[in-house]
Amino acid sequence: MWELELIPVYLLLSMWGGKKHLYLATKFILYTVGGSVFLLLGVLGIGLYGSNEPILNFETSANQSYPIALEIIFYIGFFVAFAVKSPIIPLHTWLPDTNGEAHYSTFGIGSITDTGLNGAILQIISHGFLGAELFFLVGTSYERIRLVYLDEMGGIAIPMLNIFTMWG
């Protein structure tokens, strides 16, 4: 049921996204629904194995023995499903594009609930603080090291020990 929230997010992205809004909205929906299909098939496969009725009891399913070929299929399905949601390239490339085109508040406002709106406000505030902190770190490191590129710095642990300890 929770995948139904993708529909309003898709609509918001396709209508009010940036320059490539239709392409990115389609990429978003295909990747996330595609990953969810793998997860659904894996859960149903585990629940339906060896019985005529679905057993969606985790304890029963975990203690049941499966053929090794079926375990490998389940593993691959769950890996693909979670690789889409986790930052594993190339299956997670939808997120940077989507976040680049849509404002963070789009996702909370898309739910049209008090929790979603509060989450959107929290995301906007935290995004502002994190952005300011990252600019602070870049400015501080440039003031102390006078270098711009990371490969020239060779690390910041020695020249900026306090900031490295706090953020490392």
Query: pLDDT tens, 63-80?
Result: 888 899 999 999 999 999
Q: Can you tell me whether residue 56 is helix, strand or coil?
A: coil
Query: pLDDT tens, 1-58?
Result: 567 777 777 877 777 767 788 888 888 888 888 888 998 898 888 888 867 677 777 7
CB neighbourhood size of 17 (10 A) = 21
Supply the pLDDT for residue 34.
87
pTM exceeding the 0.85 threshold for the entire prediction:
no
